[in-house]
Chains A and B, each alone.
Chain A
Amino acid sequence: MHKISTRQIYFFLAAIAPVGKIMLMPTQLAFFSKNDLLFPAVMNYFLQAGAVFLALLFASKNRTFYDALADTVGKAAAKIIVCLLALFFLYASILPLLEQKLYVQKTLYDTLPSPVTFFPFFLLSAYLCAKPIASLGRLWDILLPVSVVGYAGIMALSVSNADFGALMPVGISGAEGIFGGFAYSLSWFFDSALILALAGKFEYRKGMAWKGMLFYLAGGAAIVFFLAVFYGVYSDIALQQTFAFSEISKYFSGITVLGRIDYFFSFALVFVILFYGSLPLHAGVECVCNAFGDKRYLRIVLSVVVNVGLLVCVYLLNFKLYVTLQTVTKMLFWIFPVFCVLLPALCLLLKRRKHETAA
């Protein structure tokens, strides 16, 4: 199986990873931080960029997370840790899945449809998860221009309606608002853990850690700009606007003549989000397969089990949506920095290879 190329990793960091943060995160930040929403976003991005740097640095060992762990703590312990990471990925996937489900029900249908309309996603996800994760690399080559076109289109149509003065006065929400926004948006930032799951699936090149971090920050800058435009357009009612990326451009004057051409761009972004939504599940399956032997039937069984499990979970949480969002983003947000910041940092302490330490 071919490996993911470095270019594809950069594409993922710059254009795929940011897309998962434009659904409900802007609303969350607007609620807690109001016009200071850029600060928590920038803080989160820098923190996560550092974690991505560390994860890429770990990936320079050109070994999977499990292999590196097994050499340090033994196979049994390594399997436990990897399974914990896989469980984390399943937990981390709840938020993107619920966001996507909500979005599908709200924007892609005229009346609130049955939750069953979202379930075909799990068919696609099960299929994707049954494939080796390295097969996603080429997909990111295609998704980059889709993401860029979608983003650029939406921005082009909405920038003219943004009143950037709404971001003033700076600091009015205080430390509580800013740090509250920072803490309660941590749940969207798990890209460094995804890089850990991809370790060993791509060939590390010199300087990749720095470049990857820069690409990630570039994607972050695009999202921060989006947040600025979002708040500029909606100002004091921003905290009520969910999935603003598909509504933000409808105020463009040409829309009244041409119709909702902005849907073309938001569908492009939703297309990218489809793949991003299944990525944590895929990463979870990949982690377990690395630990227990990469056999085809194991991958298929795991993929089916994980997706069916999450399908049931999403169905059961259908009427407890906001409680779930609150739980994940407010009550249990601390889980994310453990796996997405602390873990990549700890990975640097893992042994390189058995023979390298046998001196």
Chain B
Amino acid sequence: MKTISGKLEQDIAELKKMLPAEDILTFSFVSGEKLPFTVIFADPVTDKELLGEQVIRPLLHYAGKPSAKEVGKNITAPELRSEKTFDKLSAEILAGNPVLLWEGADEGLIVGTKKVFVRAIAEPPTDVTIKGPREGFIEDIKINSSLVRRRLKNPNLRIEMMQVGKQSETYVAVCFLEGITPQETVDAVKEKLQAIQIDVVADSSYLVHFLKDRKYSLMKQVGSTEKPDIFCAKIAEGRVGILVDGSPIALTVPYLLVEDFQACEDYYVPAARATFTRLLRIFALLVAIYLPAFYIAAQLFKLQLFPIKLLQTISGSIREIPLSPSLEMLLVLLVLEVLNEASIRMPKYVGMALSVVGALVLGETAVSAGFVSTPAIIIIAFSGIGLYAVPNLIEQTSVVRLAMLLAAGSVGTYGILLLTAFLLFKLVTAESFGAPLLSPFSPVIPHDMRDSLVKYNMGSLKTRPKTLKSKNKRRMKDA
């Protein structure tokens, strides 16, 4: 690897050769003792004001030796490092840290005057709470790390940085509590991250694929959150957290399915209320997945599932509908998915108008025109709302719902049972970094059930979840 020669012109030429882009600029000045200095920096990502104040101005009167140590003493920037190799120097320039070279330099000085464009810390849109903290992660890994540090003021909190992505060299922080998180899990995570051979890591979800055991599985195997309080709580339980520069979504492993039924608010409200809302979420999700399927299965294969009066009402409603019940339900479901997708993508200004059109067209006009029946609309609407009771699983559950519908429309109730059996088997055999996905239900861990479908009060949660095999089991002492 090439290192600095000490000849300023030569070194600048070498760096310019490595960084030919036009936005890599140089600024040359001469100190009081006629010692020439040059600063090489990336224009878009360097804070030039700081550069001038902390680097250039102090050196204008420099009269010392041309050694990095002596020159460094005159620079007022708190973040200052030295490097000899051009590879590292060029990487730092691209990262937004200018490099200072001078005639006779033994090393180049890297100054931490990066200009960071970040948005303000705000409530994350994917995880809204009524009661509880409203901070959310943002795209800058350093600020995200600071949010974590603020909540876990523990010397054992390790935030180990690594770079992933051949072209993007994205910073990835692996966070864990030493002494609590099992070392095997940490090592497994690091090993998987280091093995990633990808060009660009645009978001944390890119890493999810590599962290999963079953690459093509629909099931979630890596947890995610946008909230630092949840992130810290998960780390404190014995998980490993992963922050990715440029992404506000933090990842946590091992992942348990029951996590997505736990909202952060459950820990801020009384236990009875938390239990009720958790059971409600499960109920809503089950109804959302199974109601359209059972409706179709009943209508096509087993009328007896309906009470007679309901059957007569449904029969009257579908009398003039041209489509078969399964096609009708599929059509309404697809329209709902399209509306869903469009409502996320459309500009805010037309959102209101299109929402009204969607509601009117689907809700009123389609029924009046006899394209779809009222029960189908009601069922799909309820199903659509029910899925969002557990928003973290929306990607999986919407596909499962569609599959259930296909199974019900083809084979009937038996098809629903078979597909459920298949999914259950997949879930019970899935693991995430050694932790069974359906824990604490399969395998049964009675202790961990205190914070699963039901929630005991805080005083009962004295130990960490046994599934995570934490070294330090106790998290609360008796009062």
Contacts and interface: CB of A to CB of B under 8 A. Distances in A.
B428 A274 contact: no
Contact of A142 (B301, B302, B415, B428): B428
Given A104-B414, A108-B413, A274 B302 contact: no
Contacts of B301: 108-110, 113
Contacts of B417: 267, 270-271, 274
A279 B441 CA distance: 22
B425 A5 contact: no
A263 interface: yes
A124 B414 contact: no
Nearest to A140: B442
A311 to B, nearest CB: 14
B425 A139 contact: yes
Contacts of B420: 271
A271 B421 contact: yes
B305 A142 contact: no
Interface in A110-129: 110, 113, 117-118, 120-121, 123-124, 127-128
B19 interface: no
Contacts of A109: 301-302, 412
20 contacts: A108-B301, A108-B302, A108-B413, A108-B414, A109-B302, A109-B412, A117-B412, A117-B414, A120-B418, A121-B418, A124-B422, A127-B422, A127-B425, A131-B425, A138-B436, A138-B438, A139-B428, A142-B424, A260-B304, A275-B421
A279 to B, nearest CB: 13
A253 interface: no
B25 interface: no
Contacts of B305: 260, 263
B441 A142 contact: yes
Interface string B429-460: 10000001010011110000000000000000
A285 to B, nearest CB: 15
A71 interface: no
Contacts of A293: none
A7 interface: yes
A189 B378 CA distance: 48
Contact of A120 (B307, B411, B429, B438): B411
Given A109-B412, A120-B418, A121-B418, A139 B424 contact: yes
Contacts of A118: 414
Interface in A136-171: 137-139, 141-142
A138 B429 contact: yes
B303 interface: yes
A124 B413 contact: no
Contacts of A128: 425
Contact of B443 (A5, A123, A131, A274): A5
Given A124-B421, A131-B429, A263-B305, A142 B438 contact: yes
Interface string A6-17: 011000000000
Contact of B418 (A124, A138, A260): A124
A207 interface: no
B185 to A, nearest CB: 17
Closest 4 pairs between A and B when the two form their complex, measured CB to CB: A259-B307, A141-B442, A138-B428, A138-B442
- Helix, strand, loop or mixed for chain B's interface? helix
Contacts of B418: 120-121, 123-124, 274
A135 interface: yes
A286 B421 CA distance: 20
Interface of B: 301-307, 411-415, 417-418, 420-422, 424-425, 428-429, 436, 438, 441-444
Contacts of A138: 428-429, 436, 438, 442-443
A271 B418 CA distance: 8
A141 B443 contact: yes
Contacts of A7: 443-444
A63 B417 CA distance: 35
B302 A110 contact: yes
Interface residues of A, number: 31
Contacts of A121: 414, 418
B424 A120 contact: no
A139 B427 CA distance: 9
Contact of A110 (B304, B414, B422): B304
A142 B442 contact: yes
A259 B294 CA distance: 15
Contacts of B306: 259
A142 B429 CA distance: 12
A94 B214 CA distance: 34
Interface in A5-36: 5, 7-8
Interface in A235-267: 259-260, 263, 267
A268 to B, nearest CB: 10
A137 B438 CA distance: 13
B411 A117 contact: yes
A253 to B, nearest CB: 15
B421 A274 contact: yes
Contacts of B422: 124, 127
Contacts of A5: 443
Given A5-B443, A124-B422, A267 B411 contact: no
Nearest to B308: A259
B442 A120 contact: no
Contacts of A104: 414
Nearest to A134: B429
A4 B305 CA distance: 38
Given A117-B412, A275-B421, A141 B307 contact: no
A285 B250 CA distance: 44
Contacts of B415: 120
B34 to A, nearest CB: 74
Contact of A141 (B303, B304, B444): B444
A39 to B, nearest CB: 34
Given A108-B414, A142-B442, 17 more contacts: A5-B443, A104-B414, A108-B413, A110-B302, A110-B303, A110-B304, A124-B421, A131-B425, A135-B429, A137-B443, A138-B443, A139-B424, A141-B443, A267-B413, A267-B417, A274-B417, A274-B421
A113 B412 CA distance: 11
A124 B417 CA distance: 11
Contacts of A120: 411, 414-415, 418
A110 B414 CA distance: 13
A305 B443 CA distance: 31
A113 B303 CA distance: 14
A128 B444 CA distance: 21
Contacts of B443: 5, 7-8, 137-138, 141
B440 to A, nearest CB: 10
A291 to B, nearest CB: 24
B438 to A, nearest CB: 7
B1 to A, nearest CB: 46
A99 B428 CA distance: 27
Contacts of A141: 428, 441-444
B143 to A, nearest CB: 41
Most buried by B among A121, A138, A267, A275: A138
A275 to B, nearest CB: 7
A137 B418 CA distance: 19
